[in-house]
Amino acid sequence: MSESITSRDLPLGIEVRHLVALDAIARTHSFSQAAAELGYAQSAVSQQIATLERVVGHRLVERPGGPRPVSLTEAGQLLLRHASQITARLGAVRADLDALAAGEAGTLRVGSFQSASTRLLPPTIARFRDGWSRVAVELRNEMSCGDIDALVQSGQLDVAFSDLSGAADTLDSAELLVDPYVAIVPPDSPLAAVGELDLGQLHGARMISSTVVDACTIRVERALEAARVRPVNVFRSSDNLTLQRLVAAGIGVAIVPLLAVEQHVPDAAVTVLRIAGAEAFSRRIGIVWHRDRYRSPSAVAFVETALEVAATLDLPALPAATVHV
């Protein structure tokens, strides 16, 4: 039998304002600066921390006295890690209540990242609006899928396109497609004729890479390292189309997810090569939402629409895989 929320083991004297004060002190290392940030008197912040320490039964803040900065004790740091999750969940309450009240109207907040924003998002939005014209869609694009997931966890986004490989335990998801990594080379490159590329062929090659340190970049770097391949990075760009145009201009080669490749841009024509043995060298693209939050009918419909779009997505055709016997 599950325990009641009023269990005597819960520290029921803790209030949100106590946790907010603890977080402010951890960031500013000062009672006075924390008070100024929160709009409280310094004595009020001191009282909140004293009450919090009494409730949990541990000293949470080191108070060296004088001009020296204050800091959290080990117990304070432990409590703050839990507090961050608590305040994030509380921050999602208003969004849930607003969504519940809105019903088939209201606002749906959707997150995305660059290649999904280019290929998946536009047709999904267009098709979604056909059936949900009263729902205002707010879009937010982030460079890192980790940032997107954090926004869903905190209730700032309702649903989001993401890389499912690193999705948090608190998120549920629907897989849209498996996105293999491919090599893109200039059409007149000697490599363009190979069809399937062995990573070893890129040793010493001039390479164009992403400037964004995210799961995508890390996968590529680890694959090259595992193959003991050391290309020469000649340029880095955070923009997928800029990277592809540089390859088309003969500046270098690149390894990118297939979803990031543009097929119909005249000055960005490249040859797409399958990477040998890359069955495990891919990413799972999906759409995520918070497992414990209320999902509005519009949020459910958006996921269903994204699944429909992904099933008919036009991606570049890859050469047939080479069979080694």
Instruction: Name which of 175, 142, 169 is nearest 157 in CA terms.
Output: 142
More confident residue, 6 or 61: 61
pLDDT of amino acid 289: 95
pLDDT of amino acid 181: 92
Strand, helix or coil for residue 232? strand
Of 105-114, 178-187, 242-251, the range with the lowest mean pLDDT is 105-114
Instruction: Name the amino acid, one letter, at 114.
Output: Q
Instruction: Name the amino acid, one letter, at 100.
Output: L
Residue extent(s) of CATH 1.10.10.10 domains in the chain: 16-90
Task: Assess whether pLDDT exceeds 90 at residue 154.
Answer: no
User: Which residue reads 């290392």 in tokens?
Assistant: 29
Q: What is the mean pLDDT of residues 303-316?
A: 92
CA 305 to CA 208: how far, in whole Å? Answer: 35
| Confidence band of 101 (pLDDT split at 50, 70, 90) | low
User: Which residue reads 């309450």 in tokens?
Assistant: 93
Question: Are 246 and 269 a contacting pair, CB within 8 Å?
Answer: no
pTM of the model: 0.66
Q: What is the pLDDT of residues 190-220, one digit of tens each?
A: 998 887 889 999 999 999 998 877 778 888 8
Task: Assess whether pLDDT exceeds 90 at residue 288.
Answer: yes
Q: What is the mean pLDDT of residues 288-311?
A: 92
Residue extent(s) of CATH 3.40.190.290 domains in the chain: 178-282
CATH of domain 104-177+283-311: 3.40.190.10
**CATH-assigned architecture of domain 16-90:** Orthogonal Bundle (1.10)
Task: Assess whether pLDDT exceeds 70 at residue 55.
Answer: yes
Percentage above 70 pLDDT, the chain: 88
Residue extent(s) of CATH 3.40.190.10 domains in the chain: 104-177+283-311
Mean pLDDT of the chain: 85
Task: Assess whether pLDDT exceeds 80 at residue 268.
Answer: yes
- Identify the DSSP state of 320: P
CATH topology of domain 178-282: D-Maltodextrin-Binding Protein; domain 2 (3.40.190)
Task: Assess whether pLDDT exceeds 60 at residue 320.
Answer: no
Task: Assess whether pLDDT exceeds 50 at residue 1.
Answer: no
| Confidence band of 253 (pLDDT split at 50, 70, 90) | very high
